[in-house]
């Protein structure tokens, strides 16, 4: 036995509908609020973390500028060696070291690696060992630019191997009062200043800041010893993929917010690492409050939906009976249903809808008749016996003149013209096919009129495959030839363009330099009404305009401008991307 379908009452349906809509809306709003709050918390945490990293960057840049200032002072002293004396200059440099705990040594070498000035008493290595070190090779030839190394073991002497960061720069120093030479200034610094900057950064309870050089080697890390001992790892590979900026990733089971900033003048990058579970900890309390509010809203919504549905359902049943009558084919104006204001408005709208349906049915009948007439007109325009006779007559004449190339060209154009005209019974073709049809027509007419005119066709990229109704360009071109170009003494010109006009419209533009039209004739044609003389060329124009409006609506059609002895411009405006639904004509 067939299974019976359970029919729900209107009250139940309305209750369920209101409850579902209200609860769905509540859930959506809650999700949006939660998403926005989460996004705001994350954005605020990101901004705060970024500002901390930028502040560290500013402090580090200030420190580097301070080192640069010291190097400038050392450069000035080097230029006064001949006047002040070596010992006096070294004493001044040692004074700087005594006031700075972060500077290990200051040394001036010549370009062969010999020490000229030094704050260190330890003997230096051989010159060839000095010149082979990275800070020396990178500093020489910099033409005034300085170079910061990453952390390394300094090997100036065999008695001391400090772990330093080196600043090196090629400078000029005085040999005598009138002679100078080139040398390399070296400033070795320990980690005290750099480490203090990083240690003072607070990125949550476990976040931290570290520095890397341009080779992605760690310059400083608060857990440097553990990293060197391979006890813990740092995600250098992810940082290497980003020059600077912000990104999130998961490393060793924890999601991290990573901020990267570039240090000016040092070729270093600052990397700030904050953990998302710490940054988003405030979301837990917000989630609990949101869940309680959401539950209360759902309970209240169900109660109100049940109450409202009972009040609405009574007049809806009356309206339902009227709808059933319309469903059976009764389109007489239904009476207004008594009830609440919303149902009365719905009943009135239903009555207006019935009236509108009847009007549309009448309009469809009229439109079908009009379309059928236009289709017959278009069918007659597809194969014009007079045009075919003149074309074949021209072919015979060219054959008699042994113009084989001309015969082949005209016959080929005529074949293509008819093939596109017929188009397997399709009324809808592409813009490319429509313009190809116009091209073949122009080729035939160009041969018939012995090259009296030239033509060009230009299509904007992407429009060739857009759909259009066929045979809307050729009638306009025919008018341009017979009513414009034909009467010219000089060379005629016809230009066809297809391009987009915002918003969402395509324009097929046909321009000629023919004799043009006077204002009276143009006004008559632009009315698109009444009967026009064939000499005026209005029949084809009106046909195309009404066919376009029949398919696409009153917002589209033809735009025409003309001036005597200048020419005529016709624009066919059709929509872009709008599907074309051919209107079916009832055959009797």
Asked whether the bond before 503 is cis by omega within 30 degrees of 0, the reply is yes
Lowest mean pLDDT among 254-258, 371-375, 406-410: 371-375
Round to whole Å and give the CA distance between 62 and 468: 68
> Mean of the pLDDT values across residues 551-575?
90
Indicate whether 430 pLDDT > 70: yes
Closest CA to 480 of 515, 452, 431: 515
The band of 141, judged by pLDDT with boundaries at 50, 70 and 90, is confident
Tokens of 388: 């075919």
> Mean of the pLDDT values across residues 535-541?
61
Tokens of 11: 């009250």
The band of 124, judged by pLDDT with boundaries at 50, 70 and 90, is confident
Q: Which residue has the higher pLDDT, 440 or 373?
A: 440
Q: What share of the chain is helix, strand, coil (3-state, %, to 5)?
A: 50, 20, 30
> Mean of the pLDDT values across residues 379-395?
62
> Mean of the pLDDT values across residues 233-262?
84
Indicate whether 530 pLDDT > 60: no
Domains and their CATH numbers in the chain: 79-193 (3.30.450.20), 423-575 (3.30.565.10)
Residue 101 has a pLDDT of 80
The band of 1, judged by pLDDT with boundaries at 50, 70 and 90, is very low
Residue 584 has a pLDDT of 40
Residue 295 has a pLDDT of 83
Indicate whether 500 pLDDT > 60: yes
Indicate whether 572 pLDDT > 90: yes
The band of 534, judged by pLDDT with boundaries at 50, 70 and 90, is very low
Closest CA to 169 of 63, 72, 64: 72
Most confident range (mean pLDDT) of 100-114, 146-160, 203-217, 405-419 is: 100-114
Indicate whether 369 pLDDT > 70: no
Residue 297 has a pLDDT of 82
> Mean of the pLDDT values across residues 496-520?
91
> Mean of the pLDDT values across residues 253-268?
81
Contact 552, 578 (CB under 8 A): yes
Residue 52 has a pLDDT of 82
Q: What is the mean pLDDT of the chain?
A: 79
> Mean of the pLDDT values across residues 238-254?
83
| 385-400 and 431-448 helices, crossing angle to 10° | 50
Task: Return the biggest CA–CA distance within the chain.
Answer: 120
Query: Which residues, 6 or more positions from 33, have their beta carbon under 8 angstroms from its beta carbon?
Result: 290
> Mean of the pLDDT values across residues 254-282?
81
Task: Report DSSP letters for 125-177, one per residue.
Answer: --HHHHHTSHHHHHHTT-TT-EEE--SEE--SSSS---EEEEEEEEEEEESSS
> Mean of the pLDDT values across residues 338-345?
72
Closest CA to 248 of 240, 256, 260: 256
Residue 528 has a pLDDT of 65
Closest CA to 49 of 379, 274, 290: 274
Indicate whether 582 pLDDT > 70: no
The band of 513, judged by pLDDT with boundaries at 50, 70 and 90, is very high
């Amino acid at each position: 036995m067939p299974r019976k379908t359970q029919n729900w009452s209107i009250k139940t349906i309305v209750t369920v509908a209101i409850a579902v809509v209200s609860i769905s809306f509540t859930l959506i709003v809650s999700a949006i609020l939660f998403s926005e709050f989460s996004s705001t918390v994350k954005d605020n945490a990101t901004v705060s973390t970024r500002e901390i990293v930028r502040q560290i960057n500013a402090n580090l840049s200030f420190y580097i500028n301070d080192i640069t200032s010291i190097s400038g002072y050392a450069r000035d002293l080097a230029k006064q060696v001949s006047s002040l004396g070596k010992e006096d200059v070294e004493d001044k440099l040692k004074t700087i070291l005594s006031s700075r705990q972060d500077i290990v040594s200051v040394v001036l070498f010549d370009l062969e690696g010999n020490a000229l000035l030094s704050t260190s008493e330890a003997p230096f290595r051989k010159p060839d060992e000095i010149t082979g070190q990275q800070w020396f090779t990178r500093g020489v030839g910099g033409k005034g630019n300085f170079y910061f190394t990453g952390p390394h073991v300094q090997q100036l002497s065999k008695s001391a191997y400090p772990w330093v960061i080196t600043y090196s720069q090629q400078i000029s120093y005085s040999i005598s009062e009138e002679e100078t030479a080139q040398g390399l200034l070296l400033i070795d610094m320990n980690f005290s200043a750099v480490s203090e900057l990083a240690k003072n950064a607070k990125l949550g309870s476990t976040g931290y800041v570290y520095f890397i050089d341009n080779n992605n080697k760690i310059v400083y890390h608060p857990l440097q010893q553990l990293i060197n001992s391979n006890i813990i790892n740092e995600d250098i590979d992810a940082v290497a993929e980003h020059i600077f900026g912000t990104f999130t990733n998961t490393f060793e089971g924890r999601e991290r917010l990573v901020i990267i900033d570039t240090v000016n003048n040092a070729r270093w990058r600052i990397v700030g690492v904050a953990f998302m579970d710490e940054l988003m900890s405030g979301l837990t309390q917000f989630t609990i409050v949101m869940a309680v509010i959401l539950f209360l809203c759902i309970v209240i919504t169900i109660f109100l939906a049940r109450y409202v549905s009972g009040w609405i359902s009574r007049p809806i049943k009356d309206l339902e009976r009227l709808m059933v009558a319309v469903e059976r084919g009764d389109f007489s104006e239904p009476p207004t249903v008594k009830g609440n204001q919303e149902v009365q408005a719905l009943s009135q709208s239903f009555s207006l809808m019935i009236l509108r349906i009847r009007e549309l049915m009448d309009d469809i009948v009229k439109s079908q008749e009009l379309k059928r007439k236009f289709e017959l007109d278009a069918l007659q325009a597809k194969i014009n016996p007079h045009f075919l006779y003149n074309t074949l007559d021209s072919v015979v004449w060219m054959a008699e003149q042994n113009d084989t190339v001309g015969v082949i060209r005209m016959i080929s154009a005529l074949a293509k013209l008819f093939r596109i005209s017929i188009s397997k019974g399709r009324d809808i073709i592409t813009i490319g096919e429509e313009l190809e049809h116009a091209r073949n027509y122009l080729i035939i007419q160009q041969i018939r009129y012995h090259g009296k005119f030239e033509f060009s066709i230009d299509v904007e990229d992407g429009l060739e495959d857009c759909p259009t109704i066929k045979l809307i360009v050729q009638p306009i071109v025919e008018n341009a030839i017979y009513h414009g170009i034909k009467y010219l003494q000089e060379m005629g010109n016809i230009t066809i363009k297809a391009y987009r006009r915002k918003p969402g419209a395509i324009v097929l533009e046909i321009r000629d330099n023919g004799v043009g039209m006077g204002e009276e004739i143009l006004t008559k044609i632009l009315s698109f009404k009444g009967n026009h003389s064939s000499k005026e060329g209005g029949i084809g124009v009106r046909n195309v305009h009404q066919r376009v409006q029949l398919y696409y609506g009153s917002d589209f059609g033809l735009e025409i401008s003309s001036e005597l002895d200048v020419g005529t411009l016709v624009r066919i405006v059709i929509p872009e991307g709008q599907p074309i639904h051919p209107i079916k004509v009832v055959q009797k």
